[in-house]
Amino acid sequence: MANSKYEYVRQFELADNMLPNTWLVVRVDGRGFHRFSQTHNFEKPNDRRSIDLMNRCAIEVMKDIKDITMAYGQSDEYSFVLPKTTNLYSRRSSKIASTIVSLFASNFVMHWSTYFGNEKLQYAPCFDSRVVCYPNDQVLRDYLNWRQADCHINNLYNTTFWALVKSGMKESEAEAKLRVYFLFVGV
């Protein structure tokens, strides 16, 4: 705002600067992707086109936001790591989260046809995002280990689930069978 009598409205903006000298992780997560994957005929359990598209989106985000030091993706989510020293958008959470999720989502739409060919995009995908501070290297590592463990468990479940369904079991039966197994092994 250009020094007008209305500039006072800026005082209502939330100061959302992230703590200094902490790792910042932006997690972008697909919203309603179960339905999205069904509508767009994703192959089960893992659709190579979707994996490649998500990776492309992450690459494009990293090309644009030079402060990002690494990214890790699985399923319908991606985590982007910014170093402790970053001063991107003065470390304002809302600016960082909204910019990264916007870049990710727009690249998803822009590059859809490259990976899905003639499969028409039926509706716009939606992603949410959040920024979290991690105080030291160990906690950042634990976060990445958590996401990797989640990936492993989800992939194990989905691969087994779809193998059972493809062998003739109803989805509800496969789910019930896996529920018992996963309770047994403590997952």
- Binding-site residue positions for GTP: 29-34, 75-76
- Binding-site residue positions for Mg(2+): 29-30, 76
Q: Give the pLDDT confidence score for residue 3 in this predicted structure.
A: 81
Q: Give the pLDDT confidence score for residue 1 in this predicted structure.
A: 47
- Binding-site residue positions: 29-34, 75-76
Q: Give the pLDDT confidence score for residue 186 in this predicted structure.
A: 75
For residues 58 and 26, what is the distance between their CA atoms, to the nearest angstrom? Answer: 12
Output the CA torsion sign for 161, 166, 172, 176: negative
- Put the strands of the sheet holding 70-74 in their side by side order: 70-74, 77-82, 23-30, 127-134
Q: Give the pLDDT confidence score for residue 77 in this predicted structure.
A: 98
Return the structure tokens found at 33.
Answer: 């992707």
For residues 43 and 119, what is the distance between their CA atoms, to the nearest angstrom? Answer: 12
Which domains are delineated in the chain? 16-185 (3.30.70.3000)
Axis-axis angle for helices 93-110, 48-64 (nearest 10): 130
pLDDT in tens, the chain (187 residues): 478 999 999 899 988 999 999 999 999 999 999 999 999 999 999 999 999 999 999 999 999 999 999 999 999 999 999 999 999 999 999 999 999 999 999 999 999 999 999 999 999 999 999 999 999 999 999 999 999 999 999 999 999 999 999 999 999 999 999 998 878 777 6
Q: Give the pLDDT confidence score for residue 12 in this predicted structure.
A: 93
For residues 88 and 91, what is the distance between their CA atoms, to the nearest angstrom? Answer: 5
For residues 50 and 55, what is the distance between their CA atoms, to the nearest angstrom? Answer: 8
Q: Give the pLDDT confidence score for residue 72 in this predicted structure.
A: 99
Single-letter amino acid code for the residue at 163:
A
